[in-house]
Amino acid sequence: MTQKNTNSNIESKRGNWLRTLFTSEKYLFLFAAIAAGAYPIFFYFTNNYSLVNTWGHVAYFAIMFICVPLVIFFVLDRVSRLKTLDKVRKYVLPFLNIFVFLFLLKVCLYAGLQKKLIVLIFVISVVFTFFLHKYLRKVIVLQLILAVIGVFSVIPKVYGQLNYSNEWMRQPDDIENAVFVKKPNVYVIQPDGFVNFTELKKGYYNYDISEFENFLLDNSFVNYPEFRSNYASTLASNSATFMMKHHYYNGGRSYSEAINARNLLISGNAVLDLFKKNGYITHFLAQKPYLLLNRPEMGYHKSNLSLDDVGYIGTGLGPQRDLMPHLKQFMEEDPDEPKFFFMEIFNPGHIQNRSANSRGIEVERKKWLESLDYACEQLVDYVTQIKANDPNALIIILADHGGFVGMEYSRQIYSKTQDRDRIFSIFSSQLSIHWPNGDAPETDQYIGTAVNLFRVLFSYLSENTAYLENLQDNGSYVVLKNDAPEGIYQYINDEGEIVFIKQ
């Protein structure tokens, strides 16, 4: 017999073994369970890879989506073989397969219970089981084909992660080794989506919060008109801000996510690392664990949150936590050491993300303005507390992006527009600074956008103006997919003018 025939026989035997296993009633539960969980895993990883890019997540999904269903399918399949259950045995695996498959997809799409959806899934599973239970093996094959497609969908995500380049983070000078001459306590308070006072008075906002504006002025804050973000989301904007460099969305297709953004913001970045090098005790306080979703290593010395507050599946946007008790506690601790605080407040936020959730332009504006008023109340409380106990602190109120008011939903950002008010609604953001002793440096004139804020701040703290020679451009950038060739575009240039330039 030739080598070719021998190999052919071996392959035939392998195929026969797998075919026999698949057609065997005894092992059908194995295929039914694996098929029910495999595609939802790859579906979730493909669409949420930046949230689940750790081995811990791989283990969790393998256990919950494959191992647990395997045990359940095995037990119920064996129980159904009892003589008293002979009439329902043929329905057990088909029901379990469809119910678990649809339920896991629901989990991947919507975090939480969604009781109505679960009832609907149950009804669909019952109907399928009653009328189509004979086609279980064909359904399993279809599910496994979807899983294979899912593998090929997730490969580019993994490849992009493995080949991710940190080159964009490289500083053009030695600012990462700056030595601070001044060491005030530094509080960075970030109200999500807080539009600057200039834009609030016009455009799609047309709203008066002069009471809050005057409160800041009365407390020796400098308000910076026309300030804006360089990017359109919390992760993208803060990545550039805390690295003091442009990343241009890393060439990605999503304005709301960024490769390794949470690891960068929580585990280590140019700003955080420099404060630590200069002897600061660092603190991260957040009302929600959004920045901890992919369970990054905590790079701050202290925080009101831990990985125990983060589930393996979720949005990180649950109920808000009160930061005041933690702020008071941390301010009292380490009295002889300088402190850096990064505080995340989730108001006013932005309008609804999706068209299906939008209540229309006017209602979205109304809801956002209500959230803005609440954000002002919180900021007054935090500023009052800080100033009462740390009167010469450096306090920075720094928004991450605008509120998107004037749009029906925020994902309209992917469609090209040259509407000035819409574009500034995305990027206009509030910056107010309380400089120690009320003495703002002349170099604050270089603060135009978020990407340059900390470079100017470190120049001030180190009394080294040489760091101002390497400021980044003040452009604001967007990801477009509709009404223009897909890509990254500059919407606002260095001079604050509306442009449309592909990167």
Which of the pair, 92 or 47, is modelled with greater confidence?
92
DSSP 125-157: HHHHHHHHGGGHHHHHHHHHHHHHHHHHHHHHH
> Residue 215: enclosing H or E segment and its boundaries?
helix 210-218
Question: What's the fold here for domain 181-465?
Answer: Alkaline Phosphatase, subunit A (3.40.720)
Mean pLDDT of the chain: 91
Average pLDDT over every residue of 131-156? 91
Extract the tokens encoding 347.
């108001």
**What confidence tens digit (pLDDT) does each residue in 336-391 have?**
999 999 999 999 999 998 898 899 999 999 999 999 999 999 999 999 999 999 99
Looking at residue 299, what is its pLDDT? Answer: 96
Extract the tokens encoding 98.
């469809």
Average pLDDT over every residue of 87-108? 91
Looking at residue 8, what is its pLDDT? Answer: 53
Indicate whether 50 pLDDT > 80. no
Radius of gyration of the chain (CA): 27
Helix, strand or coil, per DSSP, at residue 387: helix
Q: In sequence order, what are the beta bridge partners of 480?
A: 487
* Nearest-angstrom CA–CA distance, 207 and 194: 13
The answer to whether the CB of 148 falls within 8 A of the CB of 46 is no
Indicate whether 494 pLDDT > 90. yes
Q: In sequence order, what are the beta bridge partners of 303?
A: 284
Indicate whether 49 pLDDT > 90. no
Q: Which range has the worst mean pLDDT, 160-174, 270-284, 306-320?
A: 306-320
* Helix pair 453-462, 234-243: axis angle to 10 deg: 30
Looking at residue 412, what is its pLDDT? Answer: 95
Looking at residue 206, what is its pLDDT? Answer: 95
Extract the tokens encoding 291.
């920045």
Helix, strand or coil, per DSSP, at residue 491: strand
Across 39-197, the runs of DSSP E, i.e. the strands, are 186-191
* Cα 110 to Cα 46, 104, 117, 156, distances in angstroms: 15, 10, 10, 24
* Nearest-angstrom CA–CA distance, 236 and 272: 17
Extract the tokens encoding 111.
């975090």
Looking at residue 2, what is its pLDDT? Answer: 52
Looking at residue 15, what is its pLDDT? Answer: 54
Give the residue among 184, 221, 206 at the shortest CA–CA distance from 379.
221
Indicate whether 185 pLDDT > 80. yes
Domain boundaries of the chain, sorted by first residue: 3-161, 181-465
Average pLDDT over every residue of 246-262? 85
* Nearest-angstrom CA–CA distance, 319 and 346: 10
Q: In sequence order, what are the beta bridge partners of 343?
A: 189, 285
Indicate whether 181 pLDDT > 80. yes
Match 């060739």 to its residue by tokens: 485
Q: Which range has the worst mean pLDDT, 84-88, 150-154, 471-475?
A: 84-88
Indicate whether 5 pLDDT > 60. no
Looking at residue 21, what is its pLDDT? Answer: 62
Q: Which range has the worst mean pLDDT, 29-33, 79-83, 222-226, 398-402?
A: 79-83
